[in-house]
Amino acid sequence: MREVNKIIIHCSATVEGVNVSTATIKSWHVKGRGWSDIGYHFIIGLDGAIDYGRPISRQGAHTKGENADSIGICYIGGLSEKKRAKDTRTEAQKKALIKILKTLTHIYPNATIHSHFEYANKSCPCFNAGSEYADLQPKGYVYEKKKKKND
């Protein structure tokens, strides 16, 4: 089994209320970027459905420099109707995120939860995952906002 130390949360950077399929995101990554597969391991639709992306046995392509030991989860949304960064998660998406995070932290008890913006100069996922899910972090882990690599 691949060593996983981090779970990194992303948004699709799409307008709130517009559902985007996993197949569409895969096309963006494969046809648009030339990758071998979709970059995320899990995608959460507006209705809270958790879809499989890249197998967790394979390294993702979701956070530059952090993929070797992480799992990437993407929720659909992240932009307001005016295309500004916004936490657009539906209640169903919030419940699904908790469900998948509880499962993954059970499988990988030392994995810490992070926002993509901790590793890139982006707003993604438009909320602070590390502090929001502090109760799911490993015992003794204290969340500290990391400086972005570009700071």
Looking at residue 87, the DSSP 8-state letter turns out to be -
First CA to last CA across the chain, in angstroms? 34
Active site residue 74: no
Whether the link from the prior residue into 138 is cis, omega within 30° of 0, is no
DSSP track, 18-74: ----HHHHHHIIIIIT--SS-S-SEEE-TT--EEE-S-TTS--SSSTTT-TTEEEEE
The identity of residue 86, as a single letter, is K
Active site residue 40: yes
CB 97 within 8 A of CB 44: yes
Looking at residue 96, the DSSP 8-state letter turns out to be H
Active site residue 122: yes
Please pick, among 119, 124, 126, 133, the residue that the annotation labels catalytic.
124
Please pick, among 62, 114, 116, 133, the residue that the annotation labels catalytic.
116
Please pick, among 6, 26, 29, 40, the residue that the annotation labels catalytic.
40
Please pick, among 10, 26, 86, 114, the residue that the annotation labels catalytic.
10
Residues belonging to the active site: 10, 40, 116, 122, 124
